[in-house]
Amino acid sequence: MSTSVNAFGHEFSLLDIYPVAGNIGAEVRGVRLSPDLDDALFAQIEAALITYKVLFFRQQQHLTDETHQAFGARFGKIVPHPTVPAPGSSKLFELDASKGGGRADSWHTDVTFVDAFPKISILRGVTIPAYGGDTVWANTAAAYEQLPEALKRFAESLRAVHSNDYDYGADRTVTEAHRLEHHQKVFVSSVWEAEHPLVHVHPVSGERALLLGHFFKRLVGFSSKESAKIFELLQNRITRLENTVRWQWQQDDVAIWDNRTTQHYAVNDYGNQPRLVRRVTVEGERAVAVDGSRSRTLVSPVEQAQKVA
């Protein structure tokens, strides 16, 4: 195993790292993920995550729902999904293709409809289809860096409203009735809205990244039509193929990503094959704009209940 040093000056002497794409993503080999990983090894995994944005680990069949969550707790406090019930007594978020809400086939950053959205997500392949069902990640920090200077300054001046009550069928050519029903009855069983800076500063690396994705609702101070045009311009920058990595899942794979500098998309090309993945999400903090202002909650079930009371 050779020692490598990344762009942030981190040394990865304990990790066997293989980049998967040019701007995002790396496979880490020879590591058995567990809650009791050596502190030095875990620190290098954290540093590699900042560098590569998403890390892939094969053959993690030893992980259970319990140890998956316990490993996630090494990164911080585990938080359940705000609206989707967790299986059993866990805090896991389950995506089961046999159920209505199991196909996350649109570009998004996890749970940006709350002000302090998760900082890290850890996804485990429980049942993987024989073909299809890949996941694609995009680097939102690279997308920002590639903008012309004038467009960077413009983007930095914007704030965006995100909501879980978004137009579910807007970017889908076919929307199955049972998936739409699940979205309406479960995913938006309670409505959340948050206002974020469109460009936010990563709390660890200091990188600036675009904060968009399918929970985007509108830009503050712009009409819905104007918001849609600006969104399309910047979102297309994020999902340029050069900014992405595509992972072909195998049984018991684990993917860990920095939710603050990525979007992802689950490719819905596996028909009626079973596909079951479970996710642990780690509590984040309110996003910070270039000018130091932070994200804020606009609508939450807690506030709505307090007003009614």
First and final C-alpha spacing in the chain: 61
Candidates 183, 166, 40, 71; CA nearest to 113 is 166
Q: Which of 81, 183, 264, 278 does the annotation list as catalytic?
A: 264
Catalytic residue flag (residue 38): no
125-130 contact pairs (CB < 8 A, 24+): 125/249, 125/250, 125/251, 125/252, 125/253, 125/254, 125/277, 126/276, 126/277, 126/278, 127/251, 127/274, 127/275, 127/276, 128/249, 128/250, 128/251, 128/253, 128/275, 129/270, 129/273, 129/274, 129/275, 130/273
Measured CA to CA, the distance from residue 165 to residue 189 in angstroms comes to 9
Distance, C-alpha 59 to centroid of its chain: 22
Catalytic residue flag (residue 202): no
Which residues are paired to 11 by β-bridges?
A: 5
Q: Which of 65, 110, 115, 253 does the annotation list as catalytic?
A: 110
Q: Which of 68, 108, 196, 237 does the annotation list as catalytic?
A: 108
Under a CB-based contact definition with an 8 Å cutoff, are residues 168 and 183 in contact?
yes
Under a CB-based contact definition with an 8 Å cutoff, are residues 123 and 279 in contact?
yes
Instruction: Locate the DSSP E strands across 128-284.
Output: 135-139, 159-163, 193-197, 199-201, 208-210, 216-219, 244-247, 254-258, 262-266, 276-282
Catalytic residue flag (residue 110): yes
**Structure tokens belonging to residue 78:** 């585990």
Q: Which of 81, 124, 260, 279 does the annotation list as catalytic?
A: 279
Catalytic residue flag (residue 171): no
Task: List active site positions.
Answer: 108, 110, 264, 279
